[in-house]
Structure 1
Amino acid sequence: MLSAEFSIVSTAIVLIFVIDPFGAVPVILSILKDVPFARRKAIIMREMLFGLAILTLFLFAGELFLNIFHLETEAVRIAGAIIFFVIGLKMIFPGDEGSSGLYGSSKEPFMVPIAMPLIAGPSTLATLLVLGKSHTNELGSVFAALILAWLISALIMYLSPLLYKLLRDKGLSALERLMGMLLLMMSVQMFIDGMRGIIHTF
């Protein structure tokens, strides 16, 4: 989780939950439905690389953004907890449009909507802000967690046609709801950590 003791693996898991590759699978397949099958995997990998570049830039430039607005670690952590809570609720109760929203389709998308906002979306960028502010002396480890989360997410999205054949809509929906429940629990822990930090300052 996002506590004082940093863990690359647990941080990577949080990032995977926020990126939500399983929830993105049906959206990606819908976007690429008019693209020849042989081109789909190449497009997915290209867009994943674009998304990684955007996330990396935001991770290392996010601290500058926080300093400009004089944001404290506890404030960012509590805000992140609220964001995670909302994301988790949307994953558990996606509504008619699903948790990923409707991005439309294109014969061959470029940057939008796969790289942004499916991969490097507002929720993931906000998470990187929280991580960067909470672990200013461990940005290298945060970057390692980002790479790990990106590799796993990229593999899931790369295999999206196969995953959809195996799990179909109901299986993917069940996985997404499970990830949402876990993210809700993590958000509560983040909120507790933030409040504990505020109390210790008095």
Structure 2
Amino acid sequence: MPTTGLAGLFVSSLITFFVVIDPPGCAPIYAGLTAGVDRTHVRAMALRAVMVAAAILLVFALFGQDILRALGISLDSFRISGGIMLFLIALEMVFEKRTQRREDRAQKIIDTPEVEDVSIFPMAMPMIAGPGSIASVMLLMSRGHGIERTLVILGAMGSILLLTLAALLLAGPLMRIMGQKIEAVITRLLGVLLAALASQFVIDGIRASLG
């Protein structure tokens, strides 16, 4: 595989994971969930959330296609359905419904005083390793035949997860710098990019099933 092909795959994977996981969008949610919590505990929960999410995504990256085969689902069907689901997520991002849903979910956790550790739920699952990111990693891995392409995709995923960890650790300062208006603009732009990527997944699935 030419280097340009691998570089293109890395950039495409990087954009996909960045848009779906949305590190800048996770930061304000985490800041709200951990308001008033000791900084040591905040850092520990951030690290735990990213590690658990990474484990979940890695399992689906390596064994997702085997799971589909066991269920009798073709890869082309998953490309089409996964692409449609990502397109719906993109629409929510463009119209800011996704952010509102995440904030509502976070508020429910805040309103439940007995819940103290938010690293597993809702941060690791479903905010970081949610249906969109799981579908994305499986779709990308279906296009990444060969050890080099697999490592490129996993490298892109790891890069975004590290960026997510940094966003969680710096959630407070990030919110002061960005503000809600800048975050809304970024979310809409990322939604448009995700819509284009999702459409390509659907086109690839239809083309392969008809061919």
Instruction: Judge same fold: TM > 0.5, yes or no.
Output: yes
Give the equivalent residue in structure 2 for 1:108: 117
Matched, 1:123 2:125: no
In the superposition, relative to structure 1, how do residues 107 and 34 fare at CA in structure 2: closer, same or farther (>3 Å)?
A: farther
Kept after mapping to 1: 8 A contact 2:84/2:198: yes
Secondary structure of 2:121's counterpart equals: coil
Give the equivalent residue in structure 1 for 2:38: 36
Give the equivalent residue in structure 1 for 2:56: 54
Amino acid across the alignment from 1:80: G
The sequence identity of aligned pairs, in percent, is 27
Give the equivalent residue in structure 2 for 1:173: 184
Which deviates more from structure 2 when the two are superposed, residues 78-87 or residues 42-51? 42-51
Give the equivalent residue in structure 2 for 1:145: 156
Amino acid across the alignment from 1:127: S
Q: Which runs of 5+ in 2 are unaligned?
A: none
Kept after mapping to 1: 8 A contact 2:80/2:202: yes
Give the equivalent residue in structure 2 for 1:45: 47
TM-score, normalising length from structure 2? 0.82
Offset at 1:97? 6.3
Kept after mapping to 2: 8 A contact 1:34/1:107: no
Q: Which runs of 5+ in 1 are unaligned?
A: none
For the residues of structure 2 that align with 1:13 and 1:19, how far apart are their CA atoms? Answer: 10
In the superposition, relative to structure 1, how do residues 90 and 107 fare at CA in structure 2: closer, same or farther (>3 Å)?
A: same
Offset at 1:65? 0.5
Spell out, residue by residue over 1:86-125, the C-alpha distance to the aligned partner (whole angstroms, 9 max, x if none).
Answer: 1101111133961525132343324111111111112111
Offset at 1:183? 0.7
Offset at 1:184? 1.0
For the residues of structure 2 that align with 1:99 and 1:85, how far apart are their CA atoms? Answer: 17
Spell out, residue by residue over 1:19-55, the C-alpha distance to the aligned partner (whole angstroms, 9 max, x if none).
Answer: 1122222211111013123432332122111211121
Kept after mapping to 1: 8 A contact 2:26/2:167: no
For the residues of structure 2 that align with 1:99 and 1:17, how far apart are their CA atoms? Answer: 16
Offset at 1:136? 4.2
TM-score, normalising length from structure 1? 0.86
For the residues of structure 1 that align with 2:98 and 2:56, how far apart are their CA atoms? Answer: 29
Give the equivalent residue in structure 2 for 1:164: 175
State the Cα RMSD in Å. 2.2
Give the equivalent residue in structure 2 for 1:17: 19
For the residues of structure 1 that align with 2:98 and 2:19, how far apart are their CA atoms? Answer: 21
Kept after mapping to 2: 8 A contact 1:74/1:194: yes
Kept after mapping to 1: 8 A contact 2:96/2:184: no
Kept after mapping to 2: 8 A contact 1:80/1:130: yes
Secondary structure of 1:71's counterpart equals: coil
For the residues of structure 1 that align with 2:134 and 2:30, how far apart are their CA atoms? Answer: 20
Offset at 1:180? 0.8
Kept after mapping to 1: 8 A contact 2:27/2:168: yes
For the residues of structure 1 that align with 2:16 and 2:174, how far apart are their CA atoms? Answer: 21
Q: Which residue, 84, 87, 105 being the options, matches 1:85?
A: 87
Secondary structure of 1:34's counterpart equals: coil
